[in-house]
């Protein structure tokens, strides 16, 4: 058996190189697969207008838990694909933050709607199951709590199916409570929502909170379809 040790040791560099090559091959194929899926949904790779990029990034800035810089240029959209409709533009994008010379991936394959006929307060909707412990309860919103970065919790009148499943944070609780009225809560309660960022004329459906290993070919079309439904629900033109 001892005579096998040199042979086994000599194989280690080759195995390492093979693993690296397979990883690189997978990484090279992934953007191609994403582009193919985007095209099948009617999206085309394009550079968004600077003003539009700033709008999408602004939906995240108030809620970035690791925000270390106030420079809006720290936020960058990457791998953007656009589908232009009559009353709105749909975007698929990655979002990174480059503050302090580091690159942090905030979103990957998120879906956004940008529409001039949307007029929304700034808020975020996320699943209650994604927030642990008493952080979702009123009175537990201190600076160190997981919920603190989302502004104030928005409390709704009476128990509802929506409030049982989702938590809403906003720097404008009163405006958000008025916007998410009983009718909209009823409709949202029936949907399977990812994290939603909203503000002014921008609505974003997150992808970072989906389970690892999700089938992008299934989840991306679903989120694109949900984005168009939410656009109509929140006051857009159908």
Sketch the domain layout of the chain as residue ranges: 120-200
The mean pLDDT value for 57-85 works out to 75
What DSSP designation does 62 have? G
Q: For residue 133, what pLDDT band results from cuts at 50, 70 and 90?
A: very low
Q: For 157-202, what is each residue's pLDDT tens digit?
A: 878 899 999 999 998 999 999 999 999 999 999 988 999 999 999 9
Mapped onto helix, strand or coil, the DSSP state of residue 232 is helix
Phi and psi dihedrals of 192, rounded to 5?
A: -95, 100
Q: For 13-64, what is each residue's pLDDT tens digit?
A: 554 444 444 444 444 445 677 778 777 777 888 888 888 899 998 888 766 5
Helical H segments across 111-198, by residue range:
161-165, 173-179, 182-189
């Amino acid at each position: 058996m001892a005579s096998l040790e040199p042979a086994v040791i000599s194989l280690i560099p080759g195995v390492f190189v093979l693993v690296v090559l397979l990883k690189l091959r997978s990484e090279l194929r992934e953007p191609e697969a994403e582009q193919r899926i985007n095209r099948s949904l009617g999206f085309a790779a394009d550079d968004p207008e600077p003003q539009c990029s700033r709008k999408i990034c602004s939906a995240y800035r108030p809620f970035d838990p690791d925000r270390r810089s106030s420079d809006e240029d720290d936020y960058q959209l990457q791998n953007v694909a656009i589908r232009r409709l009559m009353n709105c533009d749909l975007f698929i994008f990655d979002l990174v933050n480059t503050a302090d010379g580091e690159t942090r991936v905030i979103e990957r394959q998120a879906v956004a709607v940008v529409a001039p006929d949307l007029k929304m307060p700034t808020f975020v909707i996320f699943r209650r199951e994604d927030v642990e412990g008493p952080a979702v309860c009123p009175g537990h919103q201190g600076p160190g709590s997981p919920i603190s970065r989302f502004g104030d919790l928005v409390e709704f009148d009476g128990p509802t199916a929506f409030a049982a499943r989702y938590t809403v944070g906003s720097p404008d609780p009163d405006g958000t409570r008025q916007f998410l009225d009983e009718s909209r809560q009823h409709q949202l309660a029936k949907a399977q929502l990812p994290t939603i960022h909203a503000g002014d004329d921008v609505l974003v459906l997150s992808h970072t909170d989906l389970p690892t290993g999700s089938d992008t070919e299934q989840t991306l079309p679903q989120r694109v379809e949900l984005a168009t439904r939410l656009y109509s629900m929140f006051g857009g033109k159908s």
